[in-house]
Amino acid sequence: MNRDMSYSAVMNRKNEIMKKAIGIDYSLFESGGISFDYERMMREAGYSLEEIQRIQSSTGVGNTPILELRNITALARKCAPKGKGARIFIKDEAANPSGSFKARRAANAVYHAKKLGYKGVIAATSGNYGAAVASQAAMAGLKCIIVQECYDSKMVGQPEILEKQRVCEAYGAEVVQLSVGPELFYTFLRLLEETGYFNASLYTPFGIAGVETLGYELVMQFREKLGKDPDKVLITHAGGGNVTGTARGIIKAGAYKVEVVGASVDLSGLHMASDKDFNRKSFTTGHTGFGIPFATWPDRADVPRNAARPLRYLDRYLIVKQGEVFFVTEALSVLEGIERGPAGNTSLTAAFALAQEMDEDQTIIVSETEYTGAGKHIQPQLSFARDNGIEIFFGDPAEEVPGKNIILPSHPSLIKARDVDLVHMRRSLIKTAVNTYKVEPTEEDIAFLAEETNSSEEFVRETLKSL
């Protein structure tokens, strides 16, 4: 008997499809209310840190170097008050097989898929994760399908996303390209059901656990190199997996005093699912269009319970402007001789500004770099912006309006990192949780929400009263 493949029918079967495609029964972790057993989910569906390190090393993933950016640090000190200007380091994740930290997630997901007997893997992503999954699937001898949202309704695609298509296909993956809109998740579910392949989601427990090695490795290498822990770790924040996994790894290394700082590009005012806005942004990841919604409600993902829950771990959240990231990307190339892509340079831009608040004997490390390629370079991105009516000029990036202009800083002293109100975001998560589950929060729910928001039960109760 043929199944009903209409949009509504497929969406109604999403939990059934997901369960078959992931091999996790999420109901085991549920409480019946707002709360669920997050740590149990991570323990039972994940792997130990040592197991993950062995899985990753078998395909050449991990053990990437830490590099000190002496010239970038010197430039920051020229812009800082006397005695200020922390030393800036980067963890060079571009050294992974597919050129980004996403190889850590993909190595775990593909290993797990093969272990469970799946013949292939599918991932819905327009970013580096697609390349990582395709690369790891090729090594494992599994089929791979990558579903991309890459065009507007006029079939105009962003150069960075089209670059990801090229690299995914180079690794032997089949790439299904879609225009922006609700068809992405529907197509993804249909393919999972039709193929019986594994859902190599960004947001499974074993995917997030794969990033824990990054945080753990970062701390252990830093101790070996400098004899101490870094003062701050800057992490580009999009869907939350990088922040969550890296922070959990830092904790497993016993580095409890390290400040975890997220960074995103400011794309406020642009709607990520809008056909009109889709090509008016110059960053496809690491921006506020993902960073804020995923932080304030993680369970908007393609799994029943998202293992990426960044508000549990963020101590501070900063945003930077598009023009500032382009400037720092060029500075990294011409001052340090290191050419890297835009996502990692988002947190490097925030690090450049943040270092100027810190003392010279302090240290700050950017958790990742990424490969760059034809569509990721500055010139294709700026040319594409001009073609879409975006003004580009030098001036003060503080005046930049996403979707209207890109303002390159006329002097590096104009590069600033702006704080996002984490208290407001915490309240937003609590409000969304209550509105979504429509239950009277129990004591268990209140304790869970305190953990979710890295706050206190008193804070949760005050927020609930205000609702």
For residue 128, the domain's CATH number is 3.40.50.1100
For residues 81 and 172, state if they share a domain: no
3-state secondary structure of 304: coil
Residue 432 resides in a domain: yes
For residues 398 and 336, state if they share a domain: yes
For residues 244 and 348, state if they share a domain: yes
Domains held by the chain: number: 3
CB 167 within 8 A of CB 88: no
Q: Which residues contact 239 (CB under 8 A, 6 or more apart)?
A: 202, 203, 290, 294, 301, 308
Local structure of residue 157 (DSSP, 8 states): B
State phi, psi for 26 to the nearest 5 degrees: -65, -20
Q: In this model, does residue 365 exceed pLDDT 90?
A: yes
Full domain range(s) for residue 359: 76-96+212-419
What mean pLDDT comes out for the span 320-343?
97
pLDDT on residue 18: 86
CB 305 within 8 A of CB 29: yes
3-state secondary structure of 87: strand
What mean pLDDT comes out for the span 141-156?
92
From residue 18, alpha-carbon distances to 15, 27, 184, 326 in Å are 5, 12, 15, 39
For residues 84 and 229, state if they share a domain: yes
How far apart (Å, rounded) are the C-alpha atoms in residues 194 and 186?
A: 12
Residue of 249, 222, 274 whose CA lies nearest to 89:
222
For residues 84 and 117, state if they share a domain: no
Residue 371 resides in a domain: yes
From residue 249, alpha-carbon distances to 209, 256, 354 in Å are 8, 11, 23
Residue 11 resides in a domain: no
**Other CB atoms within 10 Å distance of the CB of residue 104:** 33
Written as one letter, the residue type at 117 is: G
For residues 299 and 153, state if they share a domain: no
What mean pLDDT comes out for the span 375-383?
90
Q: In this model, does residue 152 exceed pLDDT 90?
A: no
β-bridge mates for residue 157, sequence order = 151
User: What is the overall mean pLDDT for the chain?
Assistant: 94
For residues 338 and 378, state if they share a domain: yes
Q: In this model, does residue 1 exceed pLDDT 60?
A: no
For residues 295 and 338, state if they share a domain: yes
**Other CB atoms within 10 Å distance of the CB of residue 188:** 25
